[in-house]
């Protein structure tokens, strides 16, 4: 299904309608006859001071919106299933539905605009960050009898309207209640309130002589947020002058009828994008109406709702929407709606369900393939593909196996076999043959140069590693692979002309393996590497830098975007979600942690090299026990040299089994070469034995084995604690309400709101606000 939307006041701009008047000369002449002036001249030449006067704005928008609709239909777009227009633009929807003729619709709008322009002493203000219920309660509790909720743009973007002095004086009340922005608008009337009663009465007399036909296409009413009934259209259009505009409920109604955000098409002045962002925010802030809500609201259609303010123009204030965050080019390159990525968490914690949920919301999720068998990886890829549309975005993690390159090669085979087009390369210190082969198999020539079908997003924590990924594969590596027959000479030539990665995520201090980097130094340095790479590959297309690590609040996300990140990557916070592939016991623990409840522990995979991972420490013995084992490893040459009493305690308390039993297990699954090494080298045998504790600690956590709860190894950064504090007291406090896409959308929405507030607060003051 499709819905066509028409924007109201605020969408006007000088030059709008260019080309339309020549396409429809008869209707243009008809408009001139009704208005008594040249609509072409007003729209194309202005001046803007005249075009923004209500009595001229409303007719101009009606004409441009109506002609834009006709052009779209003439181009074969087809008629929509629903129509709706914001405030004055509802008349365009009625015209498109065949309810009023072009001439009668314009006459109604001209009269409406003149009446509204004659109103004086009123004012309106946009309130961001508070729900409609909260705004209404504040008005009632504070006795604000001269102010009304006049427009519900989204569930958390409300416009109040009333006497100007009352509107201006009310700012502290709403800001103290938690509003992120209170902006008085440049209007002189108390539109969509009882103060417009005289205008409503006069307009009613005028509208009585206009013919209203039954809609050929359902038109959603601003007054009721439901499709117009033929017998009440005239009455509701008169009431619209004093009634709130129920825009967010109109959108929620259509979402409940089965429309998705991409099914809403905004038709109006070219370059205007006012209503489309409201659809996305409404979905994020409240979602579709529930079936029971629909029944209840159908029974009480007289409930009023606010009117849309004149949308805030860029020249009046700074208001960020989600669409302003990050890089739109990144979204287009990877087929996303939002510049938001969920990073891979090993052993399937970043599950297929998580990836599917993110893709359904137009964001990118990576399957946590690290630690899974190749059979399981392939099965999960196929499950993801079966659940998604053909072009839905998703990716698979590609973790480095420096000591076991055959695992990398096996994963490359799996990815190519299943046509996986995006991977997250993580834990690499240098580019490897398996990565080069994956990249090579997706390269081709086009009119714009070499294009890469197999996309790589590398997660790095050092600028020098970023430089490797923003460069072609080395000649040494290409020559070696050519000799081995891993790539062809044509592929080698193509590889010389492209960087190895399309994007690099700057990974700051985070859960799991971490170099404890700071985003304030890491991101700028990697951005410089990226800029140099773009100069080197001018025909390849834009390269991107993302921010990962420590992102669990709007403040952290905002800081990352301000630093220049094109996209965000979240990790720890997704582990405490419905879709995460770990145990409920782990999620219960993560939901209760604070920012100081993490510690650095030795890495099970690389403790011999001093590598560390960040883990949860609250209520757990794992960090201290892991440290104890590594200290023993460095102090002794074999298990046999450890004090017998201490060795006994470790076997009983840490492993819950003997070293002898562990050795049997190690030898049973090892190759002949590995068996010989374990039996011959005491130090190596001790390392492999201790490594079993790390593996067991992870397995116990993933399965929720409560007999070993104190030994759970849970990779996690302080972002989880910060997220818990942020959502405390909200619907996202219980982890069973935390769906990854809802968390992502909430984080993006609140980041946009925060940036609006912070940037606006830094603007020069004019002495009034």
**Catalytic choice (87, 248, 304, 753):** 87
Plot region of 8 (φ>0 → left; ψ -120 to 50 → alpha; else → beta): beta
pLDDT value, residue 514: 67
Q: Give catalytic status of residue 753 as yes or no.
A: no
pLDDT value, residue 767: 42
> What six digits make up the tokens of 676?
């010989």
Q: What is the pTM of this model?
A: 0.60
Contacts 24+ apart (CB under 8 A), 14-17: 14/43, 14/44, 14/45, 14/46, 14/47, 14/48, 14/51, 15/43, 15/44, 16/43, 16/44, 16/60, 16/64, 16/269, 16/270, 16/272, 17/43, 17/44, 17/60, 17/63, 17/64, 17/67, 17/68, 17/269
83 phi and psi, to 5 degrees?
-130, 145
Alpha-carbon span 552 to 393, nearest angstrom: 23
Alpha-carbon span 73 to 97, nearest angstrom: 12
Alpha-carbon span 220 to 224, nearest angstrom: 8
pLDDT value, residue 197: 92
CB atoms within 10 A of CB 262: 12
Tell me if 92 sits within 8 A of 68, measured CB to CB. no
Mapping DSSP onto H, E and C, the string for 150-169 reads EEEEECCEEEEEEEHHHHHH
> Structural domain boundaries of the chain?
3-117+195-301, 122-190, 323-586, 592-722
Q: Residue for token digits 């029974």?
A: 299
Alpha-carbon span 180 to 199, nearest angstrom: 33
Alpha-carbon span 252 to 244, nearest angstrom: 16
DSSP-assigned states of every residue in 88-156? GGHHHHHHHTTSS-HHHHHHHHHHHHHHHHT--SEEEEEEESS-HHHHHHHHHHTT-TTEEEEEEEETT
Tell me if 726 sits within 8 A of 532, measured CB to CB. no
Q: Residue 123: is it exposed, middle or buried by C-beta count within 10 angstroms (0-12/13-18/19+)?
A: buried
DSSP-assigned states of every residue in 596-655? T-EEEEE-TTTGGGT-EEEEE-TT-SHHHHHHHHHHHHHH-SSGGGS-HHHHHHHIIIII
DSSP tag of 242 = T
Q: At what angle do helices 291-298 and 247-256 cross, to 10 degrees?
A: 130
> What six digits make up the tokens of 34?
């009704």
Among the four given CATH numbers 3.90.550.40, 3.30.230.70, 3.40.47.10, 3.30.70.250, the one describing domain 122-190 = 3.30.70.250
DSSP tag of 500 = S
**Catalytic choice (68, 86, 161, 192):** 192
Q: Give catalytic status of residue 228 as yes or no.
A: no
Alpha-carbon span 678 to 693, nearest angstrom: 17
Class of domain 3-117+195-301: alpha beta
CB atoms within 10 A of CB 719: 24
DSSP-assigned states of every residue in 328-354? HHHHHHHT-SSSEEEPP-TTTTS-HHH
The DSSP bridge partners found for residue 218 are: none
Please tell me the chain's helix, strand, coil percentages from 3-state DSSP, rounded to the nearest 5. 50, 15, 35
Alpha-carbon span 633 to 623, nearest angstrom: 16
Report helix, strand or coil for 355.
Answer: helix
Q: At what angle do helices 682-703 and 672-680 cross, to 10 degrees?
A: 110
Class of domain 323-586: alpha beta
Could you tell me the mean pLDDT of each successive run of 10 residues in the chain, 769 residues long? Answer: 93 94 94 96 93 94 96 89 96 96 96 92 94 95 95 96 95 95 89 93 93 93 95 94 95 92 93 88 90 52 37 48 87 92 92 94 94 94 91 92 88 96 93 96 84 95 94 96 95 95 91 74 94 91 93 95 96 94 96 93 84 91 95 94 94 94 90 91 94 94 95 94 93 93 93 87 58
DSSP tag of 731 = T
Tell me if 556 sits within 8 A of 719, measured CB to CB. yes
């Amino acid at each position: 299904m499709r819905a066509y939307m028409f924007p109201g006041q605020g969408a006007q701009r000088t030059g709008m309608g260019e080309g339309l008047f020549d396409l429809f000369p008869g209707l243009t002449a008809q408009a001139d006859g009704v208005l008594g002036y040249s609509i072409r001249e007003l729209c194309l030449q202005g001046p803007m001071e005249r075009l923004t006067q209500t009595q001229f704005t409303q007719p101009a928008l009606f004409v441009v919106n109506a002609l834009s609709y006709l052009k779209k239909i003439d181009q074969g777009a087809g008629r929509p299933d629903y129509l709706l227009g914001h405030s004055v633009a509802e008349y365009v929807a009625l015209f498109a539905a065949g309810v009023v003729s072009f001439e009668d619709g314009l006459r109604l709008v001209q009269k409406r605009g003149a009446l509204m322009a004659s109103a004086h002493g009123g004012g309106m203000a946009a309130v961001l960050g508070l729900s409609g219920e909260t705004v209404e309660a504040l008005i009632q509790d504070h006795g604000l009898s001269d102010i009304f909720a006049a427009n519900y743009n989204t569930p958390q973007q409300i416009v109040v309207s009333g006497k100007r002095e009352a509107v201006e004086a009310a700012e502290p009340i709403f800001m103290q209640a938690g509003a992120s922005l209170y902006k008085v608008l440049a209007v002189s009337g108390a539109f969509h309130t009882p103060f417009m009663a005289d205008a409503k009465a006069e307009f009613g007399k005028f509208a009585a002589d206009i013919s209203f036909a039954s809609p050929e296409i359902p038109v959603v009413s601003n007054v009721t947020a439901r499709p117009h009934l033929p017998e009440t259209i005239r009455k509701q259009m008169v009431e619209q002058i004093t009634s709130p505009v129920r825009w967010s409920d109109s959108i929620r109604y259509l979402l409940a009828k089965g429309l998705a955000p991409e099914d809403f098409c905004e038709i109006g002045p070219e370059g205007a994008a006012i209503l489309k962002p409201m659809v996305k925010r409404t979905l994020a802030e409240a979602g579709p109406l529930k079936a029971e809500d629909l029944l209840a609201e159908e029974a009480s259609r007289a409930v009023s709702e606010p009117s849309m303010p004149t949308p805030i123009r860029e020249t009046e204030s700074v208001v960020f929407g989600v669409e302003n965050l990050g890089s739109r080019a990144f979204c287009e390159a990877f087929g996303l709606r939002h510049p938001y990525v969920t990073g891979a968490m090993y052993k399937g914690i970043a599950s297929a369900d998580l990836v599917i949920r993110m893709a359904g919301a137009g964001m990118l999720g990576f399957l946590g393939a690290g630690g899974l068998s190749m059979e399981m990886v392939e099965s999960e890829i196929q499950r993801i593909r079966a659940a998604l549309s053909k072009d839905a975005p998703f990716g698979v993690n590609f973790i480095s196996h420096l000591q076991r390159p055959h695992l990398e090669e096996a994963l490359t085979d799996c990815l190519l076999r299943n046509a996986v087009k995006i991977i997250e390369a993580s834990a690499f210190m240098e580019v490897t043959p398996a990565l080069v082969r994956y990249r090579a198999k997706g390269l081709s020539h086009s009119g714009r140069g070499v294009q890469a079908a197999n996309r790589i997003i590398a997660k790095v924590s050092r600028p020098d590693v970023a430089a490797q990924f923003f460069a072609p594969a080395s000649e040494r590596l290409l020559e070696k692979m050519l000799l081995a027959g891993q790539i062809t000479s044509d592929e080698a030539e193509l590889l010389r002309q492209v960087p190895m990665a399309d994007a690099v995520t700057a990974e700051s201090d985070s859960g799991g393996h971490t170099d404890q980097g700071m985003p304030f130094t890491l991101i700028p340095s990697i951005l410089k590497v990226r800029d140099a790479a773009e100069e080197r590959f001018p025909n390849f297309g834009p390269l991107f830098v993302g921010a990962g690590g420590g992102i669990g609040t709007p403040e952290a996300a905002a800081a990352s975007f301000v630093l220049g990140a094109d996209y965000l990557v979240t990790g720890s916070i997704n582990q405490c979600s419905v879709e995460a592939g770990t145990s409920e016991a782990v999620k219960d623990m993560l939901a209760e942690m604070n920012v100081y409840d993490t510690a650095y522990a030795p890495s099970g995979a690389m403790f011999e090299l001093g590598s560390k991972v960040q883990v949860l420490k609250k209520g757990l013995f794992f960090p201290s026990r892991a440290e104890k084992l590594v200290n023993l490893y460095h102090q002794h040459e074999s298990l046999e040299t450890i004090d017998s009493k201490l060795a006994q305690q470790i076997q009983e308390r840490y492993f819950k089994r003997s070293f002898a039993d562990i050795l049997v297990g190690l030898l049973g699954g090892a190759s002949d070469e590995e068996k010989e090494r374990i039996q011959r080298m005491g130090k190596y045998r001790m390392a492999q034995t201790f490594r079993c504790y790390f593996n067991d600690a992870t397995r116990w956590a993933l399965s929720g084995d409560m007999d070993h709860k104190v030994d759970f190894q849970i990779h996690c950064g302080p972002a989880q604690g910060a997220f818990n504090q942020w959502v405390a007291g909200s619907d996202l406090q219980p982890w069973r309400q935390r769906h990854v896409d809802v968390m992502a959308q909430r984080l993006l929405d609140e980041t946009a709101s925060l940036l609006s507030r912070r940037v606006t607060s830094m603007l020069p003051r004019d002495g009034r606000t």
